[in-house]
């Protein structure tokens, strides 16, 4: 095995030219293969002298390794994607040794196995082995383990029995990889305005600005949320909230100090100024968020376990003989029986069903979710009390069938406690029941106490494909006040008008293929108040031959106001056959006053990456004979999103406008961006401008080579990929994708090693006038450029700096006469590829 310092360079270079070598050897010298007795077969030797052309000498590169077959490659170090049981776990450089048949064998060490979550300590032979020394054969240390290297894809597939793996949940990301990001100061803004001209001369205008400012220092996040509005001469500037926050990785929680709101899992959410520590489900793997049952069973051999829900496979894995446990399911819905299939090694199968249904409060077995808040209550209404308070909640998954929860809230004039349980009814669905006891000191100094009872139900009826996503009912006695009501300013001695009962239900029913029926209803009533709040909506969605239909009915009534009723039909027809990415729309609505409004429109996207969107509508109202026209456009660029619109009817016309985006100040300057999400990334391409990012319309690097990917998913692997088809002619990128794992609110950096410069075909000629031999490796002095010389002595390089002397070291052996040095100095030219000749001395 070659352990010389140049082994890595040679390995990388030969990999780049493997297709050229294969093509030359197979096409230039065809051979007729005859049937030869295996015992007499000898290794075929190909004489490299036959590759010499144009007077080249015979001191050429040793290519004998390639005569050993298609699998033969040069030993060395290669950047490798490592897959364990078909899941990618690492991307790093691996050293490969030479096998007798010329193929490569990876040098796997116990340290590497630990990095792949293998239970090294469970195998004495591995524990006793030097931690950084290669293993001769993987199967010798771990029975049934195997490794296979795909050189063309630079992929190493390693198969490890499940019993030898330190099992992690699907989607698990090691917290050590969570990235706090780099220091950054940013502002995320959205500005909109309108100018209206009325026929009667009463013109008006309005503007609105929403600003979310942030500062990141290490794990700390400082945030401010403010708004500005101006209308009819009235202006206001409001600071909505300001707080500092950081994650506590060991507790899977977020710590916050400042102005924010409490979780709404058990008690109604409250605005406060103070401190809070609360569980963050986003810090869990995707497969452990929300509720799913733990599946237990027994395998008689190395068995395949498959779990289906609604006919779809949601989980599949292999387990070792004996009892097994699966606790990282990621169900496709919150209810519906799970069908578990255990397929043994001999092909026999066993099946059983696991009933599954959950209400929102339910947690997985063993999962503890909590929150604790202490501070001052903040009210949006003038005159309300704003007392100090403390609140704590806890939710615990006892088993697949039972989740318990409790909470308490106390302040000088208020004390409440609640307790409840959520449990599965197996095939009948799931339900949660809780009771809250509260004691309140009212404004008239009288004490009032009461209870509030709540029932929630969820069920998916598979036989009819009916889903009760949420159905709940709450009843509060006359003496019960929630914390908001207890602090509201009261105008009478009886302190009445607080909530009495509330129910809500949401149902989805699948019908024929491509059609569904939905319904939801809500009602709230109050003590000593005959008025009720109501909301009902019904609808049917359907798709036929690509045309979408929606028929809906809505009814709403607010306290003290007349009810509103409407029925509407919406039709959407794709026009892609004639106009790409476009749709024709027709809408008609009819209200309880007998007024009918019809609207036809055209909408779609344009430009190569769909960064321009548009819509045009023409409306007619039959009763009043009023027609109106409306046009809206939106354009997404790297620097923000622009919106513009125009509306016209017989009485008025209005122009609307808007801009939204982000301003990001980092260590290298200021970069403008599209509207920012919670976590985002800064792309650094070494100054390469104009590079686009896949799947993000309008996003490309600016004139300094920077761009901001506006939204990422926290605590999860996010892959950022450059669109190489859009790179300028003078830009070459070594890595086209980067993997980032940001913490909540972090700005992480995705660095792409781009080389900016000319492209050239360089004819390398030695001092005797002959060309440098085929297969020679050429490397620049700064190691940034490298490639292999072709059979004509020509070297192709990209990213060469112009107007600057570039030195090359060319080597095709270890002897002094098998090396030379050349230098080139290219000038900027219009041609995309230059052709030059350089002396190699």
> What is the band of 39 on the pLDDT scale with cuts at 50, 70, 90?
very low
- Looking at the fold, whether 749 and 783 belong to one and the same domain comes out as no
Q: Residue 707 has what pLDDT?
A: 92
Quick check: is 8 in a domain?
A: no
Q: What confidence tier does 239 reach under pLDDT thresholds 50, 70, 90?
A: confident
φ/ψ of residue 101, rounded to 5? -85, 10
760-to-436, 797, 822 alpha-carbon distances in Å: 77, 6, 14
pLDDT value, residue 341: 81
Q: What is the pLDDT of residue 288?
A: 65
Model pLDDT, residue 63 = 54
Where residue 305 sits, what CATH number does that domain have? 2.60.40.3110
Q: Report d(CA 796, CA 399) in Å as an integer.
A: 64
Radius of gyration of the chain (CA): 35
Q: What is the pLDDT of residues 1-13, one digit of tens each?
A: 444 333 433 344 3
Q: Report how far residue 784's alpha carbon sits from residue 786's, in angstroms, rounded to the nearest whole number.
A: 7
Range of lowest pLDDT (353-362, 386-395, 498-507, 615-624): 353-362
363, 403 in Cβ contact below 8 A?
A: yes
Residue 714 and residue 728 share a domain: yes
For strands 706-712 and 679-684, give the pairing.
antiparallel
Are residues 713 and 768 both part of a single domain?
no
Residue 834 forms part of a structural domain: yes
pLDDT at residue 204 tops 90: no
Greatest mean pLDDT among 133-137, 196-200, 717-721 lies in 717-721
In a domain, 435, yes or no: no
Q: Would you call 281 helix, strand, or coil by DSSP? A: helix
Residue 750 shares a structural domain with residue 773: no
Report in angstroms the alpha-carbon separations of 371 from 250, 252, 388, 463. Answer: 15, 12, 17, 39
Q: Is residue 20 part of a domain?
A: no
Distances (CA, A) of 42 to 68, 84, 508: 11, 37, 72
Same domain assignment for residues 87 and 157 = yes
- Residue 741 DSSP SS3: coil
pTM over 0.85: no
Contact 676, 225 (CB under 8 A): no
d(CA 203, CA 190): 24
CA distance 687 to 698: 19
- Range picked from 119-133, 286-300, 491-505 for highest mean pLDDT: 119-133
> For the residues 195-214, what does the mean pLDDT come to?
84
Query: In sequence order, which residues have a C-beta less than 8 Å from that of residue 727 and are 6 or more positions away?
Result: 688, 690, 691, 733
292 confidence band (pLDDT: 50, 70, 90) = low
Above 80 in pLDDT, residue 593?
no
Max CA separation in the chain (angstroms): 111
Q: Look at residues 97, 129, 164 and tell me which one is the last residue of a structural domain.
A: 164
The pair of three-digit structure tokens given for residue 131, joined into one six-digit string: 């931690």
pLDDT band, very low/low/confident/very high, at 20 (cuts 50, 70, 90): very low
Domains identified in the chain, total number? 4
Question: In terms of Cα–Cα distance, which of 419, 315, 423 is closest to 363?
Answer: 423
Contacts of residues 40-44 at CB distance under 8 Å and 24 or more positions apart, as own/partner, are 43/67, 43/68
Task: Give pLDDT, residue 696.
Answer: 85
* φ, ψ at 587 (rounded to 5°): -130, 140
Q: Is there a single domain that holds both residue 733 and residue 806?
A: no
- Asked if residue 768 and residue 747 are part of one domain, the reply reads no
Instruction: Based on the fold, state whether residues 811 and 774 are members of the same structural domain.
Output: yes
User: Residue 773: which domain range?
Assistant: 758-839
Give start and end residues of each alpha helix (H) in 435-508: 483-486
Q: Are residues 746 and 769 located together in one domain of the fold?
A: no
pLDDT > 50? residue 457: yes
User: Do 88 and 156 have their domain in common?
Assistant: yes
Residue 562: phi and psi, rounded to 5, are -70, 150
pLDDT > 90 in the chain, percent? 19
Give the torsion sign (CA, 616, 621, 622, 625): negative
Residue 157 domain-assigned (yes or no): yes
Q: Identify whether residues 742 and 787 lie together within a single domain.
A: no
pLDDT at 19 exceeding the cut of 60: no
Is the confidence at residue 387, as pLDDT, over 80? Answer: yes
* Contact by Cβ (8 Å): 431, 454: no
Write the CATH number for 720: 2.60.40.2610
Q: How far is CA 464 from CA 272, 430, 472, 542, in A?
A: 45, 18, 21, 18
Establish if 308 belongs to a structural domain.
yes
- Per residue in 118-143, pLDDT (tens digit) is 888 878 888 888 888 888 888 888 88
Bridge-partner residues for 249, per DSSP? none
Instruction: CATH number of the domain at 798, please.
Output: 2.60.40.2070
> 752: closest CA among 705, 690, 699, 718?
705
DSSP secondary structure of 520-561: EEEEEEETTEEEEEEEEEEEEEEEETTEEEEEEEEEEE-TTS
Residue 452 lies in a domain: no
Q: What is the pLDDT of residue 62?
A: 52
User: pLDDT-based confidence at 537, cuts 50/70/90?
Assistant: confident
Give the model's confidence band at 97: pLDDT under 50 very low, under 70 low, under 90 confident, else very high: confident
**pLDDT at res. 333:** 47
In tens, the pLDDT along 258-279 reads 998 888 888 888 889 999 999 9
Whether 683 shows a pLDDT value over 70: the answer reads yes
Residues 768 and 692 grouped into a single domain: no
The answer to the question of residue 139 being in a domain is yes
What one-character DSSP code corresponds to residue 700? Answer: B
Q: Would the pLDDT of 54 be above 60?
A: no
- Chosen domain end from 732, 756, 780: 756
CB-based contact 634:612 (threshold 8 Å) = yes
Question: What does the block give as tokens for 280?
Answer: 């963050």
Q: Which of 164, 190, 210 is the last residue of a domain?
A: 164
CATH code for the domain in which residue 142 is found = 3.10.20.410
* Predicted confidence band of residue 41 (pLDDT cuts 50, 70, 90): very low
């Amino acid at each position: 095995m070659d352990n010389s310092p140049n082994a890595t360079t040679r390995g990388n270079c030969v990999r780049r030219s493997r297709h050229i070598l294969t093509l030359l050897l197979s096409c230039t010298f065809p051979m007729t293969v005859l049937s030869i007795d295996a015992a007499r077969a000898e290794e075929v030797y190909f004489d490299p002298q036959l590759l010499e052309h144009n007077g080249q000498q015979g001191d050429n590169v040793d290519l004998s390794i390639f005569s050993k077959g298609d699998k033969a490659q040069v030993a060395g170090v290669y950047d490798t994607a490592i897959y364990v049981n078909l899941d990618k776990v690492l991307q790093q450089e691996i050293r490969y040794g030479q096998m007798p048949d010329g193929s490569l064998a990876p040098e796997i060490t116990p340290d590497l196995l630990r990095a792949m979550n293998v239970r090294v300590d469970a195998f004495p032979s591995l524990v006793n082995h030097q931690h950084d020394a290669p293993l001769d054969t993987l199967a010798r240390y771990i029975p049934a383990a195997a490794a296979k290297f795909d050189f063309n894809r630079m992929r190493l597939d390693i198969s490890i029995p499940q019993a030898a793996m330190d099992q992690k949940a699907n989607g698990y990301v090691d917290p050590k990889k969570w990235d706090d990001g780099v220091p950054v100061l940013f502002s995320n803004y959205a500005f909109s305005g309108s100018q209206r001209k009325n026929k009667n001369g009463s013109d008006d205008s309005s503007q609105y600005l929403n600003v979310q400012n942030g500062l990141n220092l290490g794990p700390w996040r400082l945030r401010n949320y403010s708004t500005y509005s101006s209308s009819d001469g009235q202006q206001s500037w409001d600071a909505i909230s300001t707080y500092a926050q950081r994650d506590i990785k060991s507790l899977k929680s977020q710590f916050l100090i400042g102005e924010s709101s409490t979780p709404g899992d058990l008690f109604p959410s409250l605005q406060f100024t103070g401190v809070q520590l609360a569980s963050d489900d986003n810090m869990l793997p995707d497969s452990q968020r929300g509720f799913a049952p733990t599946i237990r069973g027994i395998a008689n051999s190395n068995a395949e376990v498959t779990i289906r829900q609604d006919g779809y496979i949601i989980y599949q894995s292999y387990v070792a003989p004996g009892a097994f446990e699966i606790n990282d399911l990621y169900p496709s819905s919150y209810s519906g029986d799970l069908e578990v299939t255990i397929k043994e090694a001999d092909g026999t199968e066993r099946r059983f069903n696991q009933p599954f249904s959950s209400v929102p409060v339910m947690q997985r077995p063993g999962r503890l979710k909590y929150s604790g808040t202490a501070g001052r209550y903040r009210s949006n209404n003038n005159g309300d009390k704003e007392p100090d308070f403390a609140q704590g909640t806890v939710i615990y998954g006892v088993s697949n069938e039972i989740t318990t929860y409790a909470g308490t809230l106390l302040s000088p004039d208020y004390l409440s406690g609640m307790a409840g349980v959520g449990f599965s009814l197996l095939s009948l669905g799931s339900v949660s029941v809780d009771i809250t006891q509260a004691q309140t000191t009212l404004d008239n100094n009288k004490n009032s106490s009461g209870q509030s009872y709540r029932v929630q139900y969820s069920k998916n009826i598979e036989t009819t494909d009916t889903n009760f996503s949420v159905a709940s009912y709450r009843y509060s006695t006359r003496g019960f006040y929630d914390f908001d009501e207890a602090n509201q300013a009261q105008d009478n001695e009886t302190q009445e008008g607080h909530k009495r009962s509330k129910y809500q239900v949401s149902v989805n029913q699948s019908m024929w293929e491509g059609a569904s029926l939905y319904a939801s209803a809500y009602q709230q009533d109050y003590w000593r108040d005959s008025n009720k709040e109501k909301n009902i909506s019904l609808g049917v969605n359907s798709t036929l031959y690509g045309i979408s239909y929606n028929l809906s009915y809505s009814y709403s009534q607010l306290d003290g106001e007349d009810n509103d009723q409407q029925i509407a039909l919406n039709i959407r027809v794709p026009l892609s056959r004639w106009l790409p990415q476009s749709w024709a729309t027709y809408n008609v609505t009819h209200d309880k006053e007998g007024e009918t409004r019809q609207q036809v429109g055209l909408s779609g996207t344009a430009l190569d990456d769909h960064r321009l969107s548009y819509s045009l509508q023409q409306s007619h109202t039959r009763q009043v004979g009023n027609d109106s026209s409306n046009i809206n456009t939106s354009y997404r660029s790297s620097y923000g999103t622009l919106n513009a619109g125009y509306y016209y009817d017989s009485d008025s016309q209005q122009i609307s406008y808007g801009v939204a985006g982000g301003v990001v100040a980092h260590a290298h300057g200021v970069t403008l961006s599209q509207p920012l999400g919670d976590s985002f990334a800064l792309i650094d391409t070494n100054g390469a401008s104009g590079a686009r990012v896949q799947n993000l319309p309008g996003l490309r690097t600016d004139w300094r080579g920077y761009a901001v990917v506006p939204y990422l998913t926290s605590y999860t692997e996010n892959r950022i990929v450059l669109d190489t088809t859009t790179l300028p002619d003078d830009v070459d990128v070594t890595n086209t994708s980067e993997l980032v794992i940001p913490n909540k609110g972090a700005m992480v950096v995705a660095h792409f090693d781009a080389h900016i410069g000319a492209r050239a075909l360089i004819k390398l000629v030695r001092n005797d006038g002959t060309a440098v031999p085929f297969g020679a490796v050429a490397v620049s002095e700064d190691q940034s450029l490298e490639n292999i010389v072709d059979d004509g002595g020509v070297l192709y390089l990209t990213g060469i700096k112009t107007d600057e002397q570039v030195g090359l070291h060319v080597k095709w052996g270890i002897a002094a006469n098998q090396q030379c040095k050349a230098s080139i100095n290219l000038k900027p030219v219009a041609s995309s590829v230059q052709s030059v000749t350089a002396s190699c001395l």
